[in-house]
């Protein structure tokens, strides 16, 4: 049984997953972050599902890319729970989780990275990365795609469908995935468990793709503090 947490965007979510099926799922909405909500929400999810904390076999978290603070909140929660119960953990890339919503062999996934950039990657049907995760301009990413056909996947409400107009990708299939990714995170973690790839929680790390995100976060925080 996997308990998964995603706090990397404006919509956080939790999910319980076992034997390929979601047992329970919950979304969280907050304008003040999720650090103060995540543990009470986990407690409520387990209680309503009739599951004890020690019944969880693996704790999984969305590892990014996403909100710097949100990524850290989810990973910290999962690390703490896994270490407290002596269970393994899993950190799942948000891009990989998005790819699990696809149906075709070649899945091109994309997330808004802000500042005019996108986070991108290409996965196959087995969730194996076939083109590395990267951050770049959307147009530059399209130029890097050389296979005959792709299935595009992005979060619900993203503007990327219109950005394919007039390109060779215009007629290719696309999927809008849910913004709440915990269920997909749990699904990916369960697959990793079947392959013996769950890890010691101390080994989990954030997947920023653009490693300078941490530096930009602290720069913005310091600038805000100076203005105050």
According to DSSP, residue 198 is labeled -
CB of 62 within 8 A of CB of 92?
A: yes
Q: Are residues 130 and 196 located together in one domain of the fold?
A: no
Tell me the whole-structure pTM to 2 decimals: 0.90
pLDDT digits (tens, 9 = 90+) for 144-172: 999 999 999 999 999 999 999 999 999 99
Q: What is the pLDDT of residue 219?
A: 47
Q: What is the pLDDT of residue 221?
A: 47
User: How far is CA 119 from its chain centroid?
Assistant: 12
Q: Are residues 131 and 71 located together in one domain of the fold?
A: no
Domain membership of residue 206 (yes or no) is yes
Between CA 224 and CA 227 the distance in angstroms is 5
Q: Are residues 54 and 84 located together in one domain of the fold?
A: yes
Q: Which residue stretches of the chain have pLDDT < 70?
A: 210-228
Domain membership of residue 228 (yes or no) is no
Q: What is the pLDDT of residue 85?
A: 97
CB of 59 within 8 A of CB of 82?
A: yes
CB of 111 within 8 A of CB of 67?
A: no
Domain membership of residue 220 (yes or no) is no
Last residue of a domain, one of 177, 201, 222: 177
DSSP H helical ranges for the chain: 38-49, 68-85, 94-99, 138-144, 160-163, 182-194, 213-227
CATH number of 39's domain: 3.30.420.40
Q: What is the pLDDT of residue 227?
A: 57
Q: Are residues 164 and 81 located together in one domain of the fold?
A: no
Between CA 135 and CA 132 the distance in angstroms is 10
According to DSSP, residue 199 is labeled B
Please tell me whether residue 219 adopts helix, strand or coil conformation: helix
State the burial class of residue 90 (Cβ atoms within 10 Å of its Cβ: 0-12, 13-18, 19+).
Answer: buried
Between CA 22 and CA 214 the distance in angstroms is 33
User: Domain containing 152: what range?
Assistant: 102-177
Q: Are residues 82 and 32 located together in one domain of the fold?
A: yes
Nearest Cα neighbor of 123 from 148, 146, 97 is 97
Phi, psi of 121 (to 5 degrees): -170, 165
Number of folded domains in the chain? Answer: 2
Domain membership of residue 225 (yes or no) is no
- Dihedral through CA 218, CA 135, CA 76, CA 9, nearest 10? 90
CB of 138 within 8 A of CB of 163?
A: yes
Q: Are residues 32 and 134 located together in one domain of the fold?
A: no
Between CA 61 and CA 44 the distance in angstroms is 18
Tokens 């407690």: give the residue.
43
Domain membership of residue 116 (yes or no) is yes
Tokens 């909100």: give the residue.
67
């Amino acid at each position: 049984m996997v308990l998964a947490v995603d706090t990397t965007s404006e919509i956080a979510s939790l999910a319980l997953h076992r034997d390929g099926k979601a047992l329970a799922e919950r979304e969280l909405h907050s304008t003040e972050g999720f650090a103060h909500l995540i543990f009470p929400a986990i407690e409520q999810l387990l209680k309503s599902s009739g599951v004890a904390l020690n019944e969880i076999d693996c704790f999984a978290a969305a590892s990014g890319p996403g909100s710097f603070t949100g990524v850290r909140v989810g990973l910290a929660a999962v690390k703490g729970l896994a270490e407290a119960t002596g269970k393994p953990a899993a950190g799942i890339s948000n891009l990989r989780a998005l790819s699990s919503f696809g149906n075709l062999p070649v899945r091109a996934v994309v997330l808004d990275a802000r500042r005019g950039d996108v986070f991108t990657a290409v996965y196959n049907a087995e969730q194996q990365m076939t083109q590395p995760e990267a951050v770049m301009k959307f147009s530059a990413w399209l130029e890097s795609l050389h296979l005959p056909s792709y299935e595009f996947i992005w979060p619900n409400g993203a503007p990327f469908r219109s950005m394919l107009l007039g390109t060779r990708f215009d007629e290719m299939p696309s999927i809008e995935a849910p913004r709440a990714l915990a269920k997909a995170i749990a699904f990916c973690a369960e697959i990793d468990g079947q392959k013996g790839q769950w890890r010691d929680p101390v080994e989990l790390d954030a997947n920023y793709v653009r490693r300078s995100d941490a530096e930009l976060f602290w720069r913005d925080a310091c600038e805000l503090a100076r203005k105050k």
